[in-house]
Amino acid sequence: MLAENIRLKNINHITYNVRDKEAALKWYQDILGVGQIPKMVNGDHLYWLQLPSGAMIHIIENALAPSAPSHHTAFEVDDIDASHAYFAGKGITTTDIQTRNDGQRAFYLDDLDGNRIEICTVSGFGVLV
């Protein structure tokens, strides 16, 4: 076990490669409801977004989008069924809701560039480390 002062504690931010940062910004705001915040680095090729928890999503314009096919981030919601219905109502293609061995439920969708996004409930096994 690592010393407490160097142990990983939280997700600070994740990044996604996108082909068109303007279209991606609109999609992340309109479809996922994520808010834009000021970026803390110089560069015209990216936007910084933030969840209510403080975790950030950085969308980076890159011709090589999407990010690696297995790369994804899981975002927790309180009501998975309502979330699934919401995305269907927006015309977003999703997988079926899966239930994992610990009772956690999840489904997947792709952003405009094919980046994989997981929507899930809180894990049923809690903090293990």
Residue at 10 is within a domain: yes
Residue at 76 is within a domain: yes
Residue at 34 is within a domain: yes
Q: Which of the two residues, 5 and 22, has the higher pLDDT score?
A: 22
Residue at 126 is within a domain: no
Token pair belonging to 80: 């998975």
**pLDDT tens for residues 7-31?**
867 888 999 999 999 999 999 999 9
pLDDT of residue 50 exceeding 90: yes
pLDDT of residue 69 exceeding 70: no
Q: What CATH number is given to the structural domain containing 43? A: 3.10.180.10
Residue 103 region, left (φ>0) first, then alpha (ψ -120 to 50), else beta?
Answer: left
Residue at 127 is within a domain: no
Domain span including residue 101: 4-120
Residue at 129 is within a domain: no
Rounded to the nearest angstrom, the gap between the alpha carbon of residue 120 and the centroid of all alpha carbons in its chain is 11
pLDDT of residue 1 exceeding 90: no
Please count the structural domains in the chain: 1
pLDDT of residue 33 exceeding 90: yes
Token pair belonging to 96: 């079926």
